[in-house]
Amino acid sequence: MGAHPHYDAKSRPPTFATIEEERAHRKRMCALGYRIFGNLGYGQTGDGHISARDPELTDHFWLLRYGVPFKHATVDELVLVAPDGTLAQGSGGINMAAYHIHHPVHVARPEVVSAAHCHSPYGTPFAAQARLFEPISQESCMFVFDQAIFDDEELNVVSTVGGGRIARAIGDNNLCILRNHGLLTAAESVEAAVARFVLAERVAEVHVKAGTLARPISEDGAKEVAISYEVANVAWHAFQYLVRDVVPDPTVVEG
């Protein structure tokens, strides 16, 4: 079995000498992200997607090709999607729902490297309540000042027009609650987008289970936690824990 790179509290996101190195890293993290989703039980019926913007062709992004179970994701199974929704590299089909949602988000947010979405066990029922997260847990504080809601009845996003409405709804935020649909996260790295989604799913679980009995903390208290999370780059670090716990052998994504 392969080993993950050394990781401790002082570890920081990697830097790259070439575009080729950065592309390889983003693709590897994307495949590992799908493995995390799959091993957590997300996307068992194909309902989800993780994108990774190409560092050179910045209007293109990588996705897992249509039909591959998330648990079996590898770098070789990723496909490069062009701005018009056609296959630019790789073989097999494209998840068109992913294109319809992710393309407009990537266009509207040039700084976003990755977006993640899935019909998760608690994210979807929470989204059916058509409301935002409240500061009722430590993790929820990272989202309460960085969230939006897509209050729309288009559940099956059949065009980039629908995706454009999602992009406008999310604005500059990194979490969008898609009403009656589920959660969508965005970030400046694949690692952070995936970890934010998992953390948001856990926040949704707290909301669903606590219900109306939950007592939010103050806005000042929530801001203190949110700032500390941002300074500590919690999402990137959370990914390091997730991938080591859920994908013990990272070489599986090499095909």
The contacts of residue 129 (CB under 8 Å, 6+ apart) are none
Domain residue ranges in the chain: 19-249
0.85 surpassed by pTM: yes
Q: How far apart are CA 32 and CA 34, in angstroms?
A: 5
Selected from 3.30.450.90, 3.40.50.12160, 3.30.420.40, 3.40.225.10, the CATH number assigned to the domain covering 19-249 reads 3.40.225.10
User: For 149-198, what is each residue's pLDDT tens digit?
Assistant: 999 988 889 999 999 999 999 999 999 999 999 999 999 999 999 999 99
* Two structure tokens written together for 148: 């939006």
Q: How far apart are CA 107 and CA 20, in angstroms?
A: 22
User: For 135-153, what is each residue's pLDDT tens digit?
Assistant: 999 999 999 999 999 999 8
56 φ, ψ to 5°?
-105, -55
User: For 20-48, what is each residue's pLDDT tens digit?
Assistant: 999 999 999 999 999 999 999 999 999 99
Contact indicator for 25, 114 with CB cutoff of 8 Å:
no
Spacing of C-alpha 125 from chain mean position: 18
